[in-house]
Chains A and B, each alone.
Chain A
Amino acid sequence: MKILTCPMNGPRNINEFQNFGPLKANPDPDATSDQDWARHLFRADNSRGTLVEWWRHVPSNYFFLAERNATTNEVIRTFDPSELEQM
């Protein structure tokens, strides 16, 4: 089984985690057209390169981010959401 390193709980089997799909920018619901809102909901990064994704460690209900290569399945790094502000 693949191992994912949780920033809080350390390396754990991947079946302890839930994937929440690629990171997206949060649009302002009041200032966004219906068309852009639909795109925000149903479109996601499906490239073959590196994805930045939301994951959740289910037993501890901790959400974090992972950079993962969508072709080789290699996890490049995992980090706490607070690091997003520094990106």
Chain B
Amino acid sequence: MIAVGGMNYDKAMKAGVELPIRCYPLQAMVTQPLKPWLHTLVSSVSLHTNLVQSSRGEIVIGGGSDPYQLYSTRSTLDMKEHLAEGAVHLIPFLHGVRLLRQWAGTTDMTADYSPIMGASPLSNLWLDCGWGTWGFKATPVADKYMAQTIANQKVAPILEPFTMERFATFDLLNEMGATAASH
């Protein structure tokens, strides 16, 4: 099974499988540790920003991907300004909080911003790719069904809409299982 995040495209190409994926950097940043007061995830689709306070007290701020494909994990001031703006819109009293660090990771995006799960054109090669959005949140339960799929050698019914054939049959998902604010 290919499930290597931003490396999925390269790995599948080695097996001769062309994935309909393009790689984009996804940036996030954290503040200095604060006494925990935010015990839920706050996400705004219109501001493309989400916030969560970790168990270290750092507020993790994430949001949309970079506007063009790239393998470099450099971060940008543009995204830092954008995320800070979204965070202060959502929670105004964050304005004086200092940022500790900012980073980027490579994410794979499909044309419908939804993951590709299930069989590949090769026998015994399974795909679990395209988690450019929602990856950290949805993969644990999705992969429970992937395990079932591999054990039964048959795609679990709940995963059927996510197979790669949807791109050949024009059955694209309307951003199901994805969010406009990736995290």
Q: Is chain B in direct contact with chain A in the complex (CB below 8 A)?
A: yes
Residues of A bordering B, CB below 8 Å: 1-2, 15, 18-19, 21, 34-35, 38-39, 41-44, 46, 48, 51, 53, 70-73
Which residues of B are found within 8 Å of A73, using beta-carbon distances? 70, 72, 74
> Is B117 in contact with chain A by the CB < 8 A criterion?
no
A38 lies within 8 A of B67 (CB): no
> Is B141 in contact with chain A by the CB < 8 A criterion?
no
Q: By DSSP majority rule, is chain B's interface helix, strand, loop, or mixed?
A: loop
How many A-B residue pairs have C-beta atoms within 8 angstroms? Tell me. 47
Contact partner, A1, options B18, B72, B77, B170, Cβ 8 Å: B77
| Given A21-B22, A46-B21, A38 and B167 contact (CB-CB distance below 8 Å) | yes
Q: How far is the CA of A71 from the CA of B25 in the complex (A)?
A: 11
B170 lies within 8 A of A38 (CB): yes
> Is B69 in contact with chain A by the CB < 8 A criterion?
yes
Contact partner, B22, options A1, A15, A46, A71, Cβ 8 Å: A46
> Is B113 in contact with chain A by the CB < 8 A criterion?
no
